[in-house]
Amino acid sequence: MRNIHVNQCGYRPWDKKVFVCRGTAEEFQVINKVNNEIVLRGKMGPAVYDQSTDETVVRGDFSELKTPGEYYISVENLGDSFSFKIGNNVYEDVKDGLLKALYMQRCGTELVESHAGKWSHEICHTSKGVLYEAPEIEMEITGGWHDAGDYGRYVVPAGKAVADLLLAYEFFPEAFKNEINIPESGNNLPDILNEAKYELDWLFKMQNANNGGVYHKATTQFFCGMIMPEKDLAPIVIYPISSPATADFAATMAYAARVYEKFDKEYSRKCLEAAEKAWTWLKANPEPVLFKNPPNMNSGEYGDKSDLDERYWASAELYKTTGNTEYHEYFEAAFKELKDTNSLGWADMAGYGSITYLFTERSMVDSEVYAKVKAGFIDKARALVSISQKDGYKVTRLPEGYIWGSNMNILNNAMHLVIADILESNNAFIETAFSQWNYLLGANSLSQCYVTGYGSKPIMHPHHRPSEDDGITEPVPGLVSGGPCRALLDPAAKAHCGGKAPAKCFIDDAESYSTNEIAIYWNSPAVFVAGFVNLKMCEFKP
């Protein structure tokens, strides 16, 4: 096991360059990998105890090294780090890979070799779905993304994933000019929007044409085994309408109407009509209509305890898009009722509503409400910085925060910090956001790059059915692993992680769905953060 942990994808010349070392030491060396010459000597910072890893760690800063090249860190008696590069574009490949991974999750289409490389596979899940409540009714339901390591398609997490891509494009359009070799590349629509549109086109199919409500999910009754998607031939069931799904749909479509308007006015109009129709259903059903898995069914539930956060988000998006004061009135009332308006998780989407309101034209917003929304958003960013500063690895999670999908939460926090900095410039917000990016790419106690296909120690055995059954040694690249989960919720985690500190409760094993599954809504915030780190061109001040 390595004692010295770095961002294995590298650093830009102007980045703050920090590594973490398990143990105690006073000095370090940076060595050129090509000729093994020492290019920099430096002093370690003070030793600190990190509760999440149960380690004493020290940190070293080699920001003064700006010369492009390939290097590694060496510390006497503690060994060497993995190698890393310094260069202007060290994050570009992983940015494109994180986005391309969503193409690799496409359902209802053949992934051809010219686009998918050796991970190509046949068309899958082309049969019609049947309504759970009326099995005699069939619906055409092809398309969309496979949600995670399984082949289910779920509206609630789809809303988060699409929103993250739209935010990434709106905030950092210059970062997403590259074509990533998908079928739509070259059609004058940025590929990040092409990919989001593939999911949006499926979402349209999940809306009830008569009343505007949105079905919660389309899945088989049971999870299939570790087989390729084209081998999964079980009947697809379309499960009942839920209010969280309908509100997420309304929000996502209203947002898409704005983003796609300059590219395709007719598509934008279609999105807005669908959003308003969904809102009509929500008005007709003011009480929560929450989803629970029926008996004898074990695909993902994505259940919820409330739908107010989703309605809050939907009202913000519809107001920003239409200017209709009905939506503003709902938003203001929901803001007063909600206890937390800053979460960016699929189960609590209020933070997306707050972001939308904070970037609505100032003449449209209530100044008092705006000030309160902004204050809460900035306060959370400061709290995240405080948590990070007390953590040996500068992570924005407390020990109890290493739960299923901990990497999603870490990336969501990075998103929050980036947006907070746009609202109120603060170098600590940016530096902390970069620390989360470094953690994802190897600057963690396991020296684990939590993205397939990248870094010196990438994820090799994700809980991802195509990667397990395609006969290829390397998994599908660009997928973000869920990361450490202290609850040990699967047999593999229980067998290998018992007694370990929270941030070490991880195993790169396909059987460990609670630590090593992938999901579209874990990749999507990573795409946002990757867009940010590819554009941020400032040097950090001490």
**pLDDT digits over 197-233, tens only?**
999 999 999 999 999 999 999 999 999 999 999 999 9
In this structure, the number of other CB atoms found within 10 A of the CB of residue 130 comes to 18
Active-site residue, selected from the candidate residues 463, 468, 490, 509: 463
Active-site residue, selected from the candidate residues 96, 147, 509, 517: 517
pLDDT of 276 over the 90 cut: yes
Q: Which amino acid is at 347?
A: A
In this structure, the number of other CB atoms found within 10 A of the CB of residue 526 comes to 32
Average pLDDT over every residue of 314-327: 98
Q: Read off the pTM.
A: 0.97
**pLDDT digits over 70-117, tens only?**
999 999 999 999 999 999 999 999 999 999 999 999 999 999 999 999
Average pLDDT over every residue of 338-343: 97
Lowest mean pLDDT among 118-122, 273-277, 308-312, 537-541: 537-541
- Does residue 150 have an active-site annotation? yes
- Does residue 508 have an active-site annotation? yes
Q: What is the CATH number of domain 92-356?
A: 1.50.10.10
pLDDT of 542 over the 90 cut: no
The share of the chain scoring above pLDDT 90, in percent, equals: 98
**pLDDT digits over 244-259, tens only?**
999 999 999 999 999 9
| 418: three-class secondary structure by DSSP | helix
Average pLDDT over every residue of 156-184: 97
Active-site residue, selected from the candidate residues 150, 232, 304, 391: 150
Helix, strand, coil shares, percent, the chain, to 5: 40, 15, 45
pLDDT of 541 over the 90 cut: no
Average pLDDT over every residue of 300-325: 98
Question: Which residue ranges make up each domain of the chain?
Answer: 92-356
The share of the chain scoring above pLDDT 70, in percent, equals: 99
All residues at 6 or more sequence positions from 275 whose CB lies less than 8 Å from its CB, including other chains: 249, 250, 251, 252, 253, 254, 257, 314, 317, 318, 321
Active-site residue, selected from the candidate residues 199, 248, 508, 509: 508
Q: Which amino acid is at 471?
A: G
Average pLDDT over every residue of 450-479: 98
Q: Provide DSSP, 198-225.
A: HHHHHHHHTB-TTT--BBSEEE-SS---
Q: How far apart are CA 228 and CA 102, in angstroms?
A: 16
Reported as a pLDDT band with limits 50, 70 and 90, residue 537 is low
Q: For the chain, what is the mean pLDDT?
A: 97
- According to the model, what pLDDT value does residue 212 have? 98
